[in-house]
Amino acid sequence: MLKKLASLALVGAIIAAVPTMAFAENTSGTAPKAEAFHPLKQLLQEKAAAFGIATDGKTKEQIKAEIKSASEADRLARLQAAAAKLGIATDGKSAEQLKTDLQAAVHTKLAAKADKLGVGSDGKTNKELREALKAAKAAKKSERDAKKADAVNKRAAKLGISTDGKTTAQVFAEIQSALQAKWAKRAKQ
C-alpha cells in the first residue's frame, strides 16, 4: 500500500512539472527574461505623456526636470488666466506674485460681500469670511422661511384651517385646496 501511494505521488509530481517546463521555454530553448517593473519609471512616463514630453533616450533626471518645468509653466498659465478673469495685470509677474495678488483680490471681493450682508470682515482670513458668509446666508434664509410660515399660518387662520402639528407645506396645500373650492363655488354662482 505504501509503495502504491509513493508511486502515485511521484507520477503526480511528474505530471504537474511537465507542462510547467514546456511553457517555460520559448522557441529558442532558453528561459525568457523577466523584465523588471519599475513603478517610478512608469509614473514618470505617464506624467510625461500627460504633458506631451517625449521620453525616448532620456534619463529619469532629465524627464523629472522637464516634467517640473512643464508643470510650473502650466501653473503659471492657470494663474495668469485667473488673474486676467479678475482684471489683474500679469506682465512680468512670477507665479508667487500672481498667487498673492489673486488671494488679495478674492479677499476684497469676499470682504465686500460680507459688508453687504452686515458681517464684519476685519482681520478675518478668506476661509473665515466664507464661513461667516455661509452662516449669514443661512440665517437670512431661515428668516425668510419664518416670515413665509407666519404668512401661511395667518392665511390659514383667516380661512379657518387648523395648523396644529402640520408643516408649512401641508398647511399651504390645505390653503390651496380651500381656495380652489372657494373659487369653484363662486364660479358656479
Per-residue pLDDT at 30: 53
Contacts of 79 (CB under 8 A, 6+ apart): 90, 95, 98, 99, 102
- The domain limits of the chain are 60-124, 143-189
The rounded average pLDDT for each run of 10 residues, N- to C-terminus, in the chain (189 residues) is 62 58 49 63 88 88 92 93 90 91 90 86 86 91 92 88 87 89 85
pTM reported for the whole predicted model: 0.54
Per-residue pLDDT at 70: 93
Across all residues in the chain, what is the average pLDDT? Answer: 82
Per-residue pLDDT at 123: 84
Per-residue pLDDT at 26: 47
